[in-house]
């Protein structure tokens, strides 16, 4: 939860590859969080592979959403020094 307080970090918690794909595509997430007590090693590897292989979507509605999040980030998050 603290990760998203740092400027430029867009962290997401994913329990499956589909969640990881959507986090990257729709929200341009750049940090992946996995629950070690919830996710086994095999599925964790699939989630990581999917997250790393997925690019953000460039349709206007997704770009608009990411810009809104970036604006909030610029106003409220702690800058990296």
Percent of the chain with pLDDT over 90: 81
- What is the distance between the terminal CA atoms of the chain, rounded to a whole angstrom? 20
Q: Is residue 71 part of a domain?
A: yes
Q: Is residue 44 part of a domain?
A: yes
CATH code for position 30: 3.40.1400.10
Containing structural domain, residue 17: 3-76
How many domains are contained in the chain? 1
Neighbours of 58 (CB within 10 A): 8
Neighbours of 13 (CB within 10 A): 15
Q: Is residue 68 part of a domain?
A: yes
Q: Is residue 81 part of a domain?
A: no
Question: E strand or H helix at 16, and its extent?
Answer: none
User: Rounded to whole angstroms, how far apart are CA atoms 61 and 76?
Assistant: 23
pTM of structure: 0.88
Per-residue pLDDT of 3-30, as tens digits, reads 888 999 999 999 999 999 999 999 999 9
């Amino acid at each position: 939860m603290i990760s998203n307080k740092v400027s430029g970090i867009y962290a997401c918690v994913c329990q499956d590859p589909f969640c990881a794909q959507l986090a990257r595509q729709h929200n341009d997430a750049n940090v992946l969080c996995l629950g070690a007590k919830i996710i086994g090693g095999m599925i964790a590897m699939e989630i990581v592979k999917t997250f790393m292989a997925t690019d953000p979507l460039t349709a206007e509605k997704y770009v608009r959403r990411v810009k809104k999040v970036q604006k909030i980030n610029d106003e409220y998050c702690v800058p990296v020094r």
